[in-house]
């Protein structure tokens, strides 16, 4: 459509939607109770910065924590998706009206937060203490070698 000025907006949201869909799919496989952090102030000037900081922190956690290869790979892929989407969001900022910009920020921040919660959810499942084992995802035992 020639009269639709925000094609990049759609591309950016598609990046988020793809990652969000992956999170939902994996979340169905790993139903771990998740502690939800506070949402950033959607109207605040630093909200998008907070979301970006959360993504950077996830990348650090993926390197620093003793996570399984599956979860480590998932976190890195998620961070790559988010960074690509964030880059697009900043690119379209200049060309958007105020209403579209606010809508874009709300989508970006909300989905960043959801993704950060999902990653925390996986990390909790891998690092949970023995006394909380009933709350954690129970992985099947590996087959015994003879």
Please check whether residue 93 lies inside any domain of the structure. Answer: yes
For residue 42, tell me if it sits in a domain.
no
High-pLDDT (> 90) share of the chain, %: 0
Q: Domains in the chain: how many in total?
A: 1
Give domain status of residue 98, yes or no: yes
Distance CA 91, CA 15 (A): 14
Rounded distance between C-alpha atoms, residue 53 and residue 93, angstroms: 19
- Domain presence at residue 86: yes
Whole-number mean pLDDT of the chain? 53
Region 66-88: mean pLDDT is 64
Long-range contacts of 95-99 (CB under 8 A, 24+ apart): 95/5, 95/6, 95/8, 96/6, 96/9
As a whole number, mean pLDDT of residues 108-134 equals: 56
Contact 49, 106 (CB under 8 A): no
What span, in angstroms and rounded, lies between the C-alpha atoms of 40 and 64?
25
For 95, which DSSP code?
A: T
pLDDT, greater one: 41 or 36: 41
Q: How far lies 73's CA from each of 43, 49, 69, 85, in Å?
A: 33, 24, 6, 18
Residue numbers of the domain that contains 92: 11-19+48-128
Q: What is the pLDDT of residue 61?
A: 60
34 assigned to some structural domain: no
* 142 domain residue, yes or no: no
Give the least confident one: 20-24, 32-36, 78-82. 32-36
Structure tokens at 75: 């976190």
* Any domain includes 33: no
Q: What is the pLDDT of residue 30?
A: 34
């Amino acid at each position: 459509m020639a009269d639709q000025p925000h094609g990049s907006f759609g591309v950016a949201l598609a990046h988020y939607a793809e990652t969000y869909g992956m999170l939902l799919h994996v979340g169905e496989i790993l139903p771990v109770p998740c502690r939800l952090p506070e949402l950033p102030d959607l109207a605040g000037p630093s909200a998008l910065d907070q979301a970006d900081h959360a993504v950077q922190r996830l990348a650090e956690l993926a390197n620093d924590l003793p996570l399984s290869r599956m979860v480590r790979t998932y976190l890195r892929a998620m961070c790559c998706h988010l960074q690509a989407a964030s880059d697009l969001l900043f690119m379209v900022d200049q060309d958007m009206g105020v209403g579209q910009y606010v809508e874009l920020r709300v989508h970006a921040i909300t989905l960043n937060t959801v993704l950060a919660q999902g990653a925390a959810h996986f990390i909790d499942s891998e690092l949970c203490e023995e006394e909380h084992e009933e709350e954690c995802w129970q992985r099947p035992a590996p087959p015994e070698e003879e």
